[in-house]
Amino acid sequence: MSYSYQTKLVELSEEEALKLLEKIIINGREGFFCIKSSEDLTLAQALQTYRKKDSIEKIFNSLKNEIEIKPVRVWSDDSIYGALIIGFLAQLFISLIRYEIKELKNTSTKFIKNSLMNLTVTVNFEVNKSKKYIFANFDGINKQILVQNEEIIWQKVKMKS
């Protein structure tokens, strides 16, 4: 295991540098993470598994805190799976938005979700039985999403008319 320390350019003796490192590194919060597997893993495979764990934890954190999937109070496994699938689809949708619209790459899930939730559409039924769609409550985020996906949205609107 290697450690590094960055400081202003001052001359430190090796002993002073080690004391400085020990002071920073040994803080009483050291610990370890154990991966237990039924498979024989190489060190590289175990490290890759550990790194994937962080990505998975971030997805679940986003599902709980940004997509706001709360504890599911249902009695059947199918209902639990359904709620999780809806949450994952919402997360996937937002990830695709970030991928397609580079300006939103670093925008939080919560901001994207709130922006889309504020968008409204009014459907006016005309005398000649046609429909008129009026979108409102635009902001910078939902406007970019709508402009980027305008063709898809109008295809869906025409299909429902």
- pLDDT tens digits for 115-151? 888 888 888 888 888 888 888 888 889 888 888 888 8
Domain for residue 66, yes or no? Answer: yes
Is residue 153 within 8 Å of 135, Cβ to Cβ? no
**Lowest-confidence region among 18-22, 75-79, 124-128, 139-143:** 18-22
Residue 16: count other Cβ atoms within 10 Å of its Cβ: 11
Domain for residue 89, yes or no? Answer: yes
Distance CA 10, CA 17 (A): 11
Asked if pLDDT for residue 17 goes beyond 80, the answer is no
Residue 136: count other Cβ atoms within 10 Å of its Cβ: 9
Is residue 95 within 8 Å of 59, Cβ to Cβ? no
pLDDT recorded at residue 4? 55
Domain for residue 98, yes or no? Answer: yes
Residue 111: count other Cβ atoms within 10 Å of its Cβ: 14
Mean pLDDT of 20-25: 72
Number of structural domains found in the chain: 1
The one-letter amino acid code at 88 reads F
Whole domain around residue 75: which residue ranges? Answer: 41-160
Is residue 110 within 8 Å of 117, Cβ to Cβ? no
Top-confidence residue, 136 or 75: 136
Domain for residue 20, yes or no? Answer: no
pLDDT recorded at residue 8? 54
Domain for residue 48, yes or no? Answer: yes
Distance CA 59, CA 51 (A): 13
Domain for residue 70, yes or no? Answer: yes
Domain for residue 34, yes or no? Answer: no
Asked if pLDDT for residue 50 goes beyond 70, the answer is yes
**Percent of the chain surpassing pLDDT 90:** 0
Asked if pLDDT for residue 11 goes beyond 70, the answer is no
pLDDT recorded at residue 2? 52
User: Looking at the chain, how many residues does it have?
Assistant: 161
Mean pLDDT of 51-66: 82
Average pLDDT value for the chain: 79
**Lowest-confidence region among 16-30, 55-69, 142-156:** 16-30
Domain for residue 5, yes or no? Answer: no
